[in-house]
């Protein structure tokens, strides 16, 4: 028998990745349904398929859907007989060939499909809506589903047909402030409403109408109410006021649960139906205020006599328009947000918790509220009791991260990842991690040599403690050699580096780089003050924290100070642009999908409300916009810079990359611009795109003293 020694990751290993993405337990807790994704090389695409296994670990997982489909949003019926999903499968499988009149097939949309888990067979398509379904919930008796779906008027139908015409599309006619959004394109004004569908007959009743959207419906445990989320200010593009509302299943009666002072997400009923837990920050428009866990009593809901014609009610002002004349602070002048008449009668459950609540939220039969929460660079499963006392269920140490979970009956299943496994499903046994239930990427990764993570701490120039993760190449022994350093800056900035498997960082470690991942100021999970410290002034603090990490690993003797490289995506790209304008220590840099000039970004990206809350509007605060932009350091950039961008990236628009590229070319700085056609704000939307970017970064660094590419 020949023994094959493990090797490091190669680029083609990307096609072996099969991450688990969603987990849902059957009501009795005995079966686990989950979604597993895989890159399909010949199609240059990903499939997302439904899988099933037993939670006692006695059976191998079984793949339920096997076509090239995109399944998601798993929901079991209350009795466990049926399993419903959202999937584009109907349109994809039935409309691959052109239609009889020779026109191109229609674009697929999500519909609801239901599997019979008793008799098996192919799923039944429950909805047949031209605009598809967005989310849904089972009625407690299992006979009906409530779902949200786009509901265009006849005039809007004609407009959508015009702009979607492949041969001669009509013009986009825009009347919204948020006129485009990354990954969605130019936005129309079609609202989403709620519908109840009978699972057996497939007859549909519409229960909401009007000039606002109702989203993410959820049936109450006793079946008397449907909870939903809705921004009913009448100006959804200029605020983030998402409230919780209640409506009877026949649509005849509506109540308001929160009062216009929240951005309510991840709502969950208590088992007795008397309470709803949810997440929200205390200041919805401020991205740096951490999300908390709340609860509110259904008894405190207010009857709404004019629903759905109650748009704009409940606030003394809606705001939205920035005054032209101001005295004093331009930021305060631009913060024109809704002012509610009263505060929501809610209670903070996480009042003694300093991290941020990520969700989802599940209220258990034992009166515990479970949620995923971030603390000190990790997402953990945390349990809160009704008095706010909390404790961590998993992970107990500083490795691994939780992405999702579900709890049914007495069972809890985690979707959890470790540096050497990728995301996998695990059963939780009395707060101890039980057997791995899924078969994602863990097996084949066990036959690869992977780098080793280590937490490091150091002080920045203001004396604050900064944490970072250091990923060293397989087999690296400190003191034996000094490695080239690759600084990889995370995006967000409301994000953080975690001890988890990432293909690209493990690939760099396998190539021989020491990879430094810094949780700079602005990163979530280190408390609100840490996060808010960069508000309105991106650049100097984050850069100081990153360079402090560079100095630390050099001082330990781990890194060759003459072979330093830096890269980052999104906010990481912004900070890379800032870094090369404020230091010449890096031999080469790669900035991916970043922003260069904040003045020109305003209105051309999809983040106008974020900019407005941070710095006001540019015409009232032009100097501040410019000085905090990487553009202010342009004349000091000498580092060879590779720039990547997406043609359709509307988070960090292509024009930003073009400005930086042409400016550097005019100054004679070695630079190259790579534009990915039809690409949004993503690095791996297609497998070949994911591999191409890594190969280009590899070659760019090698060209300037990095590890040679064979």
Question: pLDDT tens for residues 610-621?
Answer: 999 999 999 999
Q: Which two tokens stand for residue 372?
A: 């995923």
Domain count for the chain: 1
Backbone φ and ψ of 692, nearest 5°: -60, -45
Q: Which residues are registered as beta bridge partners of 645? A: 675
Q: Are 697 and 590 in contact (CB under 8 A)?
A: yes
Q: Given this model, what pLDDT does residue 89 score?
A: 82
* Tokens found for residue 204: 């549909």
Contact (Cβ atoms closer than 8 angstroms) between residue 642 and residue 674 = yes
CATH code for position 615: 3.40.50.1820
**Residue 675, C-beta contacts closer than 8 angstroms, at least 6 positions apart:** 644, 645, 646, 647, 654, 657
Contact 602, 650 (CB under 8 A): no
The residues near 181 (Cβ < 8 Å, ≥ 6 apart) are 187, 606, 650
| b/e burial code for range 279-306 (CB count within 10 A of at least 16 → b) | bbbebbbbbbbbbbbbbbebeebeebee
Number of neighbours of residue 30 by Cβ within 10 angstroms:
14
Q: Select from 454, 514, 467 the least CA-distant residue to 488.
A: 514
Q: Is 216 exposed, middle or buried (0-12, 13-18, 19+ CB in 10 A)?
A: buried
Rounded percentage of the chain residues whose pLDDT exceeds 70: 97
Integer Cα distance of 21 and 48 in angstroms:
9
- Residue 81 to residues 45, 73, 110, 499, Cα–Cα distance (Å): 32, 17, 22, 38
pLDDT-derived band at 107 (thresholds 50, 70, 90) equals: confident
Find tokens 């850069």 and name the residue.
543
Asked whether 65 and 89 are in contact (CB, 8 A), the reply is yes
Strand bridging mode 514-519 / 483-489: parallel
Burial grade of 605 (CB within 10 A; 0-12, 13-18, 19 or more): buried
Say if residue 487's pLDDT is above 50: yes
Residues 6 or more apart whose CB falls under 8 angstroms from that of 501 comprise 417, 418, 419, 420, 421, 422, 441, 445, 450
In a domain, 413, yes or no: no
Q: How far apart are CA 371 and CA 73, in angstroms?
A: 18
Percent of the chain that is helix, strand, coil (3-state, to 5): 20, 35, 50
Q: Is the pLDDT of residue 106 over 70?
A: no
Q: Are strands 452-459 and 422-429 parallel, antiparallel or unpaired?
A: unpaired
Question: Is residue 54 included in any domain, yes or no?
Answer: no
- Average pLDDT rounded to a whole number, residues 439-463: 97
Domain that holds residue 563: 449-703
- pTM, entire model: 0.96
Work out the number of other CB atoms within 10 angstroms of the CB of residue 228.
28
Q: Residue 486: inside a domain, yes or no?
A: yes
Predicted local confidence at residue 5, as pLDDT: 67
The pLDDT confidence band at residue 90, using thresholds 50, 70 and 90, is low
pLDDT tens readout for residues 237-256? 999 999 999 999 999 999 99
What are 76's two structure tokens? 């079991």
| Cβ pair 124, 111 in contact under 8 A | no
Segment 686-708, tens digit of pLDDT: 999 999 999 999 999 999 999 99
Examine residue 566 and state whether it is found in any structural domain, yes or no: yes
Render the burial of 389-412: b for 16+ CB within 10 Å, e for the rest: ebebbbbeeeebbbbbbbbbeebb
Q: Is residue 199 assigned to a domain?
A: no
Q: How far apart are CA 398 and CA 453, in angstroms?
A: 10
pLDDT band at 478 (very low <50, low <70, confident <90, very high): confident
What's the CA gap between 383 and 389, in Å, rounded?
8
Q: What is the DSSP string of 215-264?
A: EEEEE-TTSS-EEEEE--SS-GGG---BEEEEE-TTSS-EEE-S-SS-B-
Q: Residue 253: how many CB atoms within 10 A of its CB? A: 15
**3-class SS at 120?**
coil
Phi, psi (deg, nearest 5) at residue 628: -90, 0
* pLDDT beyond 50 at 119: yes
Torsion angles phi and psi, residue 154, rounded to 5: -55, -40
**Is residue 125 one of the residues assigned to a domain?**
no
CA distance 123 to 77: 14
Model confidence at 432, pLDDT cuts 50, 70, 90, reads: very high
* pLDDT tens string 652-672: 999 999 999 999 999 999 999
Mean pLDDT of the chain: 95
The answer to whether residue 681 is domain-embedded is yes
Q: How many helices (H) and strands (E) does the chain have?
A: 13, 41
CA dist., res. 465 & res. 661, Å (int): 36
Mean pLDDT across 424-437: 96
Mean pLDDT for the stretch of residues 257-275: 98
> Is the model's pLDDT at 99 over the cut of 50?
no
Distance CA 539, CA 577 (A): 9
User: Taking the CA of residue 225 as centre, how many other CA atoms within 13 Å lie in the half-sphere pointing to its CB?
Assistant: 23
> How far is C-alpha 228 from the chain's CA centre?
21
SS3 227: strand
Cis ω on the peptide bond leading into residue 360 (within 30° of 0)?
yes
Is 216 inside a domain boundary? Answer: no
Instruction: Count CB neighbours of 321 within 10 A.
Output: 10
| DSSP H or E run through 654 | helix 654-667
- Of 423, 403, 446, nearest in space to 502 by CA: 423
Reading the block at residue 431, the tokens are: 């707060």
Question: CA-to-CA distance for 75 and 485, rounded, in angstroms?
Answer: 45
* pLDDT tens column, 341-398: 999 999 999 999 999 999 999 999 999 999 999 999 999 999 999 889 999 999 999 9
N-to-C CA span, the chain: 31
Residue 223 has pLDDT above 90, yes or no: yes
With tokens 């309510």, the residue in question is: 264
């Amino acid at each position: 028998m020949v023994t094959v020694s493990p090797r490091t990751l190669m680029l083609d290993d990307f096609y072996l990745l099969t991450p688990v993405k969603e987990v849902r337990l059957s009501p009795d807790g005995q079966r686990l349904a989950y979604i597993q994704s895989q890159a399909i090389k010949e199609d240059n695409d990903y499939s997302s398929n439904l899988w099933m296994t037993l939670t006692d670990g006695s059976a191998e997982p079984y793949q339920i859907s096997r076509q090239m489909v995109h399944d998601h949003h798993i929901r079991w019926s209350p009795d466990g007989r049926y399993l419903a999903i959202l999937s584009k499968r109907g349109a994809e499988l039935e409309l691959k060939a052109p239609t009889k009149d020779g026109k191109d097939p229609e674009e697929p949309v999500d519909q609801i499909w239901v599997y019979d888990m008793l008799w098996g067979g192919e799923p039944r398509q429950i909805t047949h809506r031209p605009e598809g379904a967005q989310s849904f919930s089972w009625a407690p008796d299992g006979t009906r589903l409530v779902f949200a779906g786009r509901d265009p008027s006849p005039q809007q139908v004609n407009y959508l047909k015009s702009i979607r015409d492949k041969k001669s599309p009509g013009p986009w006619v825009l009347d919204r402030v948020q006129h485009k959004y990354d990954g969605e394109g130019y936005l129309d004004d079609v609202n989403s409403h709620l519908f109840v569908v009978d699972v057996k007959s497939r007859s549909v009743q519409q229960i909401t109408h009007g000039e606002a959207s109702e989203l993410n419906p959820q049936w109450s445990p006793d079946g008397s109410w449907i909870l939903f989320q809705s921004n009913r200010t009448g100006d959804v593009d200029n605020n983030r006021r998402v409230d919780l509302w209640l409506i009877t299943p026949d649509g005849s009666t509506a109540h308001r649960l929160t009062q216009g002072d929240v951005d309510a997400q991840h709502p969950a009923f208590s088992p007795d139906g008397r309470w709803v837990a949810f997440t929200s920050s205390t200041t919805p428009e401020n991205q740096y205020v951490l999300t908390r866990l709340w609860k509110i009593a259904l008894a405190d809901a207010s009857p709404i006599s004019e629903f759905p014609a109650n748009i704009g009610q409940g606030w003394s002002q809606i705001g939205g328009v920035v005054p032209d004349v101001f005295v004093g602070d331009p930021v305060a002048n631009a913060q024109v947000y809704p002012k509610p008449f009263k505060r929501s009668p809610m209670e903070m459950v996480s009042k003694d918790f300093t991290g941020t609540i990520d969700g989802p939220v599940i209220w258990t039969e034992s009166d515990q509220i479970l949620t995923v929460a971030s603390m000190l660079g990790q997402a953990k499963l945390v349990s809160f009791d009704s008095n706010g006392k909390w404790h961590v269920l998993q992970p107990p140490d500083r490795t691994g991260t939780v992405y999702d979970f579900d709890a049914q009956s007495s069972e809890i299943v985690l979707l959890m990842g470790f540096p050497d496994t990728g995301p996998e499903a695990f059963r939780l046994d009395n707060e101890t991690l039980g057997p791995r239930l899924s078969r994602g990427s863990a097996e084949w990764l066990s036959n690869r040599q992977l780098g080793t993570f280590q937490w490091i701490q150091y002080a920045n120039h203001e004396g604050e403690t900064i944490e970072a993760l250091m990923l060293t190449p397989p087999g690296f022994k400190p003191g034996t050699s000094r490695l080239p350093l690759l600084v990889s800056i995370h995006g967000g900035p409301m994000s953080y580096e975690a001890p988890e498997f990432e293909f690209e960082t493990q690939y760099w470690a396998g190539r021989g780089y020491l990879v430094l991942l810094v949780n700079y100021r602005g990163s979530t999970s280190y408390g609100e003050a840490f996060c808010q410290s960069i508000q309105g002034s991106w650049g100097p603090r984050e850069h100081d924290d990153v360079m402090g990490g560079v100095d630390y690993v050099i001082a330990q003797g781990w890194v060759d100070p003459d072979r330093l490289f830096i890269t980052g995506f999104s906010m990481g790209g912004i900070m890379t642009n800032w870094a090369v304008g404020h230091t010449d220590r890096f031999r080469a840099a790669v900035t991916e999908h970043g922003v260069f000039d904040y003045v020109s970004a305003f209105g051309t990206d999809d983040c106008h409300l974020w900019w407005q809350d941070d710095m006001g509007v540019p015409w009232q605060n032009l100097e501040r916009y410019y000085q905090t932009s990487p553009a202010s350091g342009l004349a000091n950039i000498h580092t060879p810079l590779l720039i990547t961008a997406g043609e359709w990236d509307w988070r960090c628009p292509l024009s930003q990359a073009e400005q930086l590229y042409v400016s550097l070319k005019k100054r004679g700085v070695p630079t190259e611009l790579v534009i990915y056609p039809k690409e949004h704000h993503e690095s791996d939307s297609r497998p070949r795109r994911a591999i191409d970017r890594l190969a280009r970064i590899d070659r760019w660094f090698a060209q300037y003293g990095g590890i040679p590419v064979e």
